[in-house]
Amino acid sequence: MLIQLGLIFLSGFPLLSTALLAYQLLRNGQGAMGVPSITAWLFYPAKLTAGVLLFILFPASLSATFFDYFPWLIQHEVPEVQQLLSLIFLLAGNLLLIPAYYTMSIFTRVGLPTKDHALQTNGIYRISRNPMYTSFFFFFTACFLLIPSLLVAALGLFSLIIHHFIILSEEKFMASSFSSEYQTYQNQTARYL
């Protein structure tokens, strides 16, 4: 029961924090959408896939039988140790995502910024240049552990691969925007962890 309560809390936290960030952006008169950093037909499906996987974590944490509705299951029950591992991955994802949201705040965009932006090197950005994207690895792994389906694995892998190319494109943009300052930051801080 304690594990399930932790799963519910930790899977709902990214949804709540994303909603609060969106509210903050709208309240400040800013939108969350930027310009796709790679071709739109890959960019938007990867973002949508990430959103869907993050969203289904919450109902999966509410019910042990939620995963029964997914095709290509590789197991038919989720043992407690697997739920505990999922909880650990959710915690790691939240420890990256929430501080990244806090640090980026109103500069957060889906895609490249269209207005003034700042190079963030403080807080969680001292550890990782891409803590939001790195958190996806942990969240998708937690999702797969709670919903052991080849479909979930394929969607997570697709999103991670495309997000890697998004990161590479964003790095070029940051290098052109902040030149030597970004080069120094890039040399001192890991891309992921």
The confidence score (pLDDT) of residue 155 equals 97
The confidence score (pLDDT) of residue 47 equals 93
Mean pLDDT of the chain: 91
Half-sphere exposure of 128 (CA within 13 A, CB side): 17
Q: For the chain, how many helices (H) and strands (E)?
A: 5, 0
pLDDT single digits (tens) 100-131: 988 877 567 777 877 777 888 999 999 999 99
User: First-to-last CA distance in the chain?
Assistant: 32
The confidence score (pLDDT) of residue 63 equals 86
Whole-number Å distance between alpha carbons of 57 and 15: 10
Could you please report the per-residue DSSP string of 59-102? Answer: HHHH-TTGGGGSSSBS-SS--HHHHHHHHHHHHHHHHHHHHHHH
The answer to whether 56 and 15 have CB atoms below 8 angstroms apart is no
The confidence score (pLDDT) of residue 44 equals 94
> Of 61-70, 96-105, 152-161, which one has max mean pLDDT?
152-161
The confidence score (pLDDT) of residue 99 equals 93
The confidence score (pLDDT) of residue 1 equals 81
Q: Which residues pair with 128 in a beta bridge?
A: 190
Above 80 in pLDDT, residue 70? Answer: yes
What are the backbone dihedrals phi and psi of residue 73, each rounded to the nearest 5 degrees, phi first? -65, 140
- Percentage of the chain exceeding pLDDT 70: 97
107 versus 182: the higher-pLDDT residue is 182
pLDDT single digits (tens) 5-58: 999 999 999 999 888 887 877 777 776 777 899 999 999 999 999 999 999 999
Q: Which residues pair with 33 in a beta bridge?
A: 110
